[in-house]
Amino acid sequence: MLRTILVLIWILVVFVLLGIPALLVLLVTGLFSPVLKEKLTQRYVVLVCNGITFLSGVKTQVSGLENIPADRAVLFISNHRSFFDIFTAYRYFKTRTACVAKIEWKKLPVLNWWMMDLKCIFLDRKNAREGLRCIIKAAEELRGGRSIWICPEGTRGHSDTLLPFHEGSFKAAFQSGAPILPMTFTRTDDVFEKHLPWVKPGTVRLHFDAPIEVKGLGRAQQKEVIGQVRDLIQKRYDEMV
């Protein structure tokens, strides 16, 4: 219970007491240097993630960091087990990175401002036209040098078998020519979801595989890549568990 209280206090401090003034500072910064604003925003989010991870008593075993490019955008594709996936992974991204999130996150006060400053893309899963818009937007961001993170299962899965991948999650990479970088989580749901509403300490694992080039692939080859990425993440998950 104590860890849960500490995490809640930290969230209140960084998103409200300090977060709102920080947003105002970033707003002014963006008038003079949009690039600096983006860098400072991501650094602040990393600070938030570090604090939550530390106060939760969570240890992270991460591997494959050498596979993350520091000079080009990639489409991060991962399994999705927990809200804690975000706090685990965001600390290790080397370039500007936004995520694709469900539209409901846009309704959360203050947090939605930070997500918009990170250029996160909000997806309405019930609207096919909006889904197409998100793909186009993600492809534009990848071409512009911003990495995108998406979870093609579409929702959190808590079994040892990955849910089916939505093929549309990969289209931004195929349209932009950006490589796909598979990312695998284990045990993140042990921290929170398996015993709501309490936060529990533990050890989570995160692995980054080498980027997969997709530029110039035909439709049949693209379909093969989608299957290969899912199989690879499932294989890594089985090995890590």
Query: Residue 16: what pLDDT?
Result: 87
Residues 6+ apart with CB under 8 A from 147: 73, 74, 75, 76, 93, 95, 96, 97, 98
Residue 96 has pLDDT above 90, yes or no: yes
Judged against a pLDDT cut of 90, whether residue 203 lies above it is answered with yes
Supply the pLDDT for residue 126. Answer: 79
pLDDT tens track for 143-174: 999 999 999 998 888 889 999 999 999 999 99
Set out the domains of the chain in order of their start, with CATH numbers: 59-240 (3.40.1130.10)
Query: Taking residues 109-126, what's their average pLDDT?
Result: 89
User: What does the pLDDT look like over 51-71, one tens digit per residue?
Assistant: 999 999 999 999 999 999 999
Cα distances from 107 to residues 20, 75, 102, 116, 129, in angstroms, run 16, 25, 10, 11, 20
The pLDDT tens digits of the residues spanning 123-138 come to: 887 777 778 889 999 9
- Poorest-pLDDT segment among 12-26, 124-138, 154-168, 199-213: 124-138
pLDDT at 158: 85
pLDDT digits (tens, 9 = 90+) for 67-77: 999 999 999 99
What rounded mean pLDDT belongs to the chain? 93
Confirm if 115 and 106 have CB atoms less than 8 A apart. Answer: yes
Q: Strand 180-186 vs strand 202-208: parallel, antiparallel, or unpaired?
A: antiparallel
Query: pTM here?
Result: 0.94
C-beta of residue 82 within 8 angstroms of C-beta of residue 224: no
Could you tell me the pLDDT band of residue 212, with boundaries at 50, 70 and 90?
A: very high
pLDDT at 107 over 90: no
Report the C-alpha gap between 69 and 156 in whole angstroms: 27
Is the pLDDT at 239 greater than 90? The verdict is yes
User: What whole-number distance in Å separates Cα of residue 226 and Cα of residue 86?
Assistant: 23
d(CA 224, CA 3): 44
User: Count of CB atoms within 10 A of residue 136's CB?
Assistant: 13
Average pLDDT over residues 8-33: 93
- Helix, strand or coil, per DSSP, at residue 123: strand
The confidence score (pLDDT) of residue 109 equals: 84
- Helix segments in the chain, DSSP class H: 2-12, 19-32, 34-56, 84-89, 111-117, 128-143, 171-176, 219-240
User: Which pLDDT band holds residue 110 (cuts at 50, 70, 90)?
Assistant: confident
For residue 97, what pLDDT is reported? Answer: 96
